[in-house]
C-alpha cells in the first residue's frame, strides 16, 4: 500500500488537480507514466475570476473499471474574515468504500481558505489516515513561498509525533493553488476553448506543475446519460525544492459541463496498470444569506 503523502500528491495531481477537491486522495497506484517532452506551446494568460461559489456541494465516486473504490465530497461555505481579508472556506472528505474500503480502509479530510477576490489559497490543511499511518499537513501561502508544518506517525509507534516545519519557494511570476482552488481555476479555464495554460499546485508537501489544453465542446457519458462538455487535458509533473521539474508525468483528462455552471462532470487518470475515473453523482447550490461576513473560526 502506498504511503498517504505520496498517494495524496500523485493522485490529486493526476486527477485534474482539484476535480471535486482532490478526490484521488483515496488510494491510487503510485506509478506514473513517462510523457515525452514537447516544445513549450504559446501560453494563454488566465482571464478568469474564481469559480467556487458559496453554497455549492459536490459528491462524486471513484472507480477502477467496474469497481467503485472511493467516494468524495466538497462543500463551499459562507465567506468569513481572516486577518481582515474575505475568504471562502472549503472542505472535502474522501474515503475508500465497498470491498476495497473494507480491506484497506482510509480517508482524507482537507480544509482550505481561499481569497474571495482572487480564488487563490491563503491557508490549507489535510489530514489522512489508514489503520497503519496518519499524516497531518497544514500550510500558509505568502507571495512566492509556502510555509507548512506536518506530523506523521505509524499506528504501531508509541512515540508522540513531532511537528516539523519547513518552507519552500514557489515559482516566481506564476499562480499557485491547492486542490480546491485548482478546481475553481480549471472551471474558469473551460471558458477559453483552445487555450494552453500552466499552473502550479501544492498538494500536501508536494508542488506540481500542471500543463493543460482546453479542447472544443464534446459529449461525455456520466451515470448513463450524455452531457455537453468541454474537455480539458494535460499532464502533471512534480517540482523539486530547487524548482526543477521532473520529466515523469501523470496524464489526466477533465470534462467540464458546457453551460454557465461549469460543473466537473468526470475526470480520468491513465497509468501503467489501468484507468481511474471520478464521476460527479450529485450537485447542489444553496447560496447562504447575504450578510456581512463574520470572523473565521480557527482552522
CA distances from 57 to 7, 12, 51, 283, 285 (A): 24, 19, 13, 6, 6
Number of neighbours of residue 285 by Cβ within 10 angstroms: 12
Evaluate if residue 3 carries a pLDDT over 70: no
Flag whether 131 is in a domain: yes
**DSSP annotation of 39:** P
Flag whether 38 is in a domain: no
Flag whether 92 is in a domain: yes
Mean pLDDT of the chain: 82
pLDDT in tens, 209-219: 999 999 989 99
pLDDT in tens, 160-198: 778 999 999 999 988 899 999 999 999 998 888 888 989
Evaluate if residue 113 carries a pLDDT over 90: yes
- C-alpha cell belonging to residue 257: 459541463
pLDDT of residue 143: 82
Evaluate if residue 45 carries a pLDDT over 90: no
Residue 266's nearest CA partner among 9, 11, 23 is: 23
Evaluate if residue 4 carries a pLDDT over 80: no
Flag whether 215 is in a domain: yes
Q: Is 6 left (phi over 0), alpha (psi -120 to 50) or beta?
A: alpha
Q: What does the pLDDT average to over 127-154?
A: 90
Flag whether 199 is in a domain: yes
Of 59-73, 86-100, 111-125, 262-276, least confident by mean pLDDT is 262-276
Q: How many domains does the chain have?
A: 1
Flag whether 93 is in a domain: yes
pTM of the model: 0.83
Q: How confident is the model at residue 49 (pLDDT cuts 50, 70, 90)?
A: low
Q: Which domain holds residue 132?
A: 4-29+47-285
Report whether 229 contacts 218 (CB < 8 A).
Answer: yes
Of 33-47, 70-84, 258-272, least confident by mean pLDDT is 33-47
Residue 12's nearest CA partner among 75, 92, 87 is: 92
Flag whether 278 is in a domain: yes
pLDDT of residue 30: 29
Q: What does the pLDDT average to over 261-290?
A: 90
pLDDT in tens, 58-80: 999 999 888 899 999 999 999 99
Flag whether 76 is in a domain: yes
Q: What does the pLDDT average to over 92-116?
A: 90
pLDDT of residue 5: 33
Answer with the residue of higher pLDDT: 1 or 295: 295
Amino acid at each position: 500500500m502506498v504511503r498517504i503523502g505520496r498517494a495524496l500528491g500523485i493522485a490529486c495531481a493526476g486527477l485534474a488537480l482539484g476535480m471535486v477537491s482532490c478526490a484521488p486522495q483515496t488510494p491510487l497506484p503510485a506509478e506514473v507514466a513517462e510523457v515525452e517532452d514537447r516544445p513549450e506551446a504559446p501560453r494563454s494568460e488566465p482571464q478568469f475570476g474564481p469559480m467556487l461559489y458559496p453554497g455549492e456541494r459536490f459528491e462524486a465516486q471513484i472507480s477502477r473499471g467496474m469497481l467503485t473504490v472511493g467516494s468524495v465530497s466538497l462543500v463551499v461555505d459562507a465567506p468569513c474574515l481572516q486577518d481582515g481579508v474575505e475568504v471562502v472556506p472549503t472542505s472535502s472528505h474522501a474515503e475508500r468504500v465497498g470491498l476495497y474500503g473494507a480491506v484497506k480502509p482510509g480517508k482524507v479530510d482537507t480544509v482550505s481558505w481561499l481569497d474571495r477576490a482572487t480564488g487563490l489559497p491563503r491557508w490549507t490543511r489535510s489530514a489522512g489516515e489508514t489503520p497503519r499511518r496518519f499524516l497531518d499537513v497544514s500550510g500558509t501561502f505568502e507571495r512566492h513561498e509556502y510555509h507548512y508544518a506536518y506530523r506523521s506517525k505509524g499506528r504501531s509507534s508509541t512515540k508522540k509525533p513531532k511537528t516539523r516545519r519547513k518552507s519552500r519557494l514557489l515559482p516566481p511570476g506564476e499562480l499557485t493553488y491547492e486542490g480546491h482552488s485548482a478546481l475553481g481555476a480549471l472551471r474558469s479555464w473551460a471558458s477559453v476553448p483552445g487555450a494552453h495554460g500552466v499552473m502550479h499546485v501544492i498538494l500536501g508537501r508536494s508542488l506540481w506543475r500542471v500543463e493543460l489544453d482546453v479542447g472544443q465542446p464534446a459529449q461525455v457519458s456520466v451515470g448513463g446519460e450524455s452531457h455537453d462538455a468541454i474537455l480539458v487535458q494535460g499532464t502533471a509533473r512534480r517540482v523539486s525544492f530547487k524548482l526543477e521539474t521532473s520529466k515523469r508525468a501523470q496524464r489526466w483528462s477533465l470534462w467540464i459541463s458546457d453551460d454557465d455552471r461549469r460543473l466537473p462532470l468526470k475526470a480520468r487518470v491513465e497509468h501503467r496498470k489501468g484507468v481511474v475515473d471520478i464521476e460527479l453523482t450529485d450537485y447542489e447550490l444553496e447560496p447562504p444569506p447575504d450578510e456581512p461576513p463574520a470572523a473565521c473560526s480557527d482552522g
